[in-house]
Amino acid sequence: MRYISTRGQAPALNFEDVLLAGLATDGGLYVPENLPRFTQEEIASWAGLSYHELAFRVMRPFVTGSIPDADFKKILEETYGVFSHNAIAPLRQLNGNEWVMELFHGPTLAFKDFALQLLGRLLDYVLQKRGERVVIVGATSGDTGSAAIEGCKHCENVDIFILHPHNRVSEVQRRQMTTIFGDNIHNIAIEGNFDDCQEMVKASFADQGFLKGTRLVAVNSINWARIMAQIVYYFHAALQLGGPARSVSFSVPTGNFGDIFAGYLARNMGLPINQLIVATNRNDILHRFMSGNQYVKETLHATLSPSMDIMVSSNFERLLFDLHGRNGAAIAGLMDSFKQGGGFSVEPERWTEARKLFDSLAVDDAQTCETIAEVFAQTGELLDPHTAIGVKAARECRRSLDIPMVILGTAHPVKFPDAVEQAGVGKALELPAHLSDLFERDERCTVLPNDLKAVQAFVSQHGNRGKPL
Ligand SMILES: *Cc1c(COP(=O)(O)O)cnc(C)c1O
Atom of ligand 1 nearest to the CA of 384: 13
Looking at residue 141, what is its pLDDT? 79
CA 167–ligand 1 middle distance (angstroms)? 22
Give the pTM: 0.96
Tell me how far apart the alpha carbons of residues 308 and 302 are, in angstroms, rounded to a whole number. 9
Looking at residue 45, what is its pLDDT? 98
Looking at residue 240, what is its pLDDT? 97
Atom of ligand 1 nearest to the CA of 257: 9
Atom of ligand 1 nearest to the CA of 230: 7
CA 227–ligand 1 middle distance (angstroms)? 12
Residue of 307, 310, 414 with the most ligand 1 atoms within 8 Å of its CB, for mutation = 307
- Residues of the chain falling short of pLDDT 50: none
| CB within 8 Å of 327: residues ≥ 6 apart | 8, 321
List pocket residues of ligand 1, CB cut-off 6 Å: 110, 112, 143, 221, 253-259, 307-308, 386, 410-411
CB 465 within 8 A of CB 158: no
Residue 26 burial (CB < 10 Å; 0-12/13-18/19+)? middle
Atom of ligand 1 nearest to the CA of 258: 7
Residue of 100, 111, 278 with the most ligand 1 atoms within 8 Å of its CB, for mutation = 111
Looking at residue 404, what is its pLDDT? 98
Residue 112 among the catalytic residues? yes
CA 255–ligand 1 middle distance (angstroms)? 6
CA 305–ligand 1 middle distance (angstroms)? 9
Instruction: Kindly name the residue from 112, 339, 415, 453 that is annotated as catalytic.
Output: 112
Residue of the CA atom closest to atom 8 of ligand 1: 256
CA 51–ligand 1 middle distance (angstroms)? 21
221, 223, 229, 233 alpha-carbon torsion, rounded to 10°? 30
Strand pairing of 358-362 and 273-280? parallel
Residue of the CA atom closest to atom 14 of ligand 1: 307
Tell me how far apart the alpha carbons of residues 284 and 119 are, in angstroms, rounded to a whole number. 29
